[in-house]
Structure 1
């Protein structure tokens, strides 16, 4: 009888565990599908140049729009040029990430020139396949050539240079690069909003942390279901014990083993979304990046 009850309890728990595991997969799958990743061809009709700072003439705007569209069609990608003189208290990095989320970009390269008083700077980001083709190292090389033009207020020539170099790099496998360019050491200080945002950003925004949370929630659900689904166990060690005719006839203590447990000492580690200007947008879009002040 005892064995039968134990087997029934085991089967109940096994069934609950199976259901719980399925629930965990459903939770994780649902989490991953919150932002479904769809392959979208480059939009050849949308606006590519957003000159909110008014740095370009109408002729220059038309020329850059045409060039950005031509390069985009050539590589099935989107290239955006942004300027503004009011970033609403956002760092260049976050300003561009919000733009990328708003446009739901896939394979894209974006340049942003911020003309805000006291916080002038330029930033470039690569998304999707452009994250590797226009990687952070290549972005630094592009910035080397673009920034001097911006400093001299030759904005049109700066954007032409940007487009020419993006066109060049999109056609070359990064593995063929013979040298790499480290991020600018003064990247953070080049943007007065960057450090403030970086300190305020919660680690909960990291993709891997959110995935772990989903797994933990699923695991808790499994545990609760397994614990509650087996029914109440009414058989215990005294069920078949005759207390009137049972007694302890001998006892002894045997040394078995010594167990030592080690715990890693927590480290003080400031989590960042990536080196230089690379990172992940609030919408889950990872990107390469880099920036300079001018």
Structure 2
């Protein structure tokens, strides 16, 4: 009987280990996340970005990939990006991907979300990420832009789909400010009511029985007219493109692109 219990415990432990390993293997981040065909990054930057991409890929169950090129004769960046994704997805058996594609020759950048990332990183959130990384790309800080893409996209994906992650109501500092203001208001109200009440009013010293208005007169003094010129809106477009679509292989994606 004792031997049976020992064997049963060993079997149970093996099953638990198998389940744990299987759970980890259910999503295994790709071995390579940086495909720097344009040679924009140093070896140390690639090593650092690979570590960051692997960490957040495992946390979000979405692979963060970066693809760069310097081909002036390249087809539209969305087509190039779509062809790369279709091939990569088959080779790695993974459809949940956030893919940043950049052509340094044409100064185009496109950020796309595939699989679950199509919802968690929708078109509006893609534009918010681009707002952050395009200035860094314009300054040539490509490694910082790539790192910002991973961290910001990952943070946005923590919010419920459809919620604007940059809404001021969701900011910790704003919530703290509101709490402080409410607290100050409550304390002020309590202090105001802690003192004695003022019972003297204007009617206290006014004798209505022996006071009356003998006459009333309106006198027009002057008239002032102010004019304000309404400026015309002469601003042009923002130069963005994209907004999601479908790859040549039929895979839909969210996305957005810009010139930098």
In which range does the TM-score fall when normalised by the shorter chain? 0.5 to 0.7
Establish whether residue 160 from structure 1 lines up as the match of residue 147 from structure 2.
yes
Quote the residue 1:110 is aligned against: 99
The 1:163–1:137 alpha-carbon spacing in structure 2 relative to 1, beyond 3 Å, is same
Q: Which has the larger radius of gyration?
A: 2
Quote the residue 1:62 is aligned against: 47
Quote the residue 1:4 is aligned against: none
SS at match of 1:176: coil
Q: What is the alpha-carbon root mean square deviation over aligned residues? A: 2.1
Distance 1:178 1:102 in 2: 32
| Cα deviation, residue 122, structure 1 | 1.0
- Mapping 1:215-226, distance limit 5 Å: none
Distance 2:247 2:139 in 1: 31
CA contact (8 A) 2:134 2:145 kept: yes
Match of 1:122 among 109, 119, 123: 109
In the superposition, the TM-score normalised over structure 1's length comes to: 0.52
Quote the residue 2:136 is aligned against: 149
* Runs of 5+ unmatched residues, structure 1: 1-39, 189-275
The 1:138–1:178 alpha-carbon spacing in structure 2 relative to 1, beyond 3 Å, is closer
CA contact (8 A) 1:93 1:277 kept: no
Structure 1, residues 52-72: CA drift from partner, whole Å, max 9, x if none?
Answer: 111111110011111111111
Establish whether residue 291 from structure 1 lines up as the match of residue 248 from structure 2.
no
* Runs of 5+ unmatched residues, structure 2: 1-24, 168-236
Structure 1, residues 124-157: CA drift from partner, whole Å, max 9, x if none?
Answer: 0000110011111001010001000000111111
Distance 1:62 1:96 in 2: 23
Quote the residue 2:247 is aligned against: 281
Quote the residue 2:240 is aligned against: 187
The 1:85–1:43 alpha-carbon spacing in structure 2 relative to 1, beyond 3 Å, is farther
CA contact (8 A) 1:133 1:170 kept: yes
SS at match of 2:35: strand
CA contact (8 A) 2:30 2:63 kept: no
The 1:145–1:51 alpha-carbon spacing in structure 2 relative to 1, beyond 3 Å, is same
Establish whether residue 174 from structure 1 lines up as the match of residue 161 from structure 2.
yes
Match of 1:90 among 75, 86, 96: 75
The 1:173–1:90 alpha-carbon spacing in structure 2 relative to 1, beyond 3 Å, is same
Quote the residue 1:81 is aligned against: 66
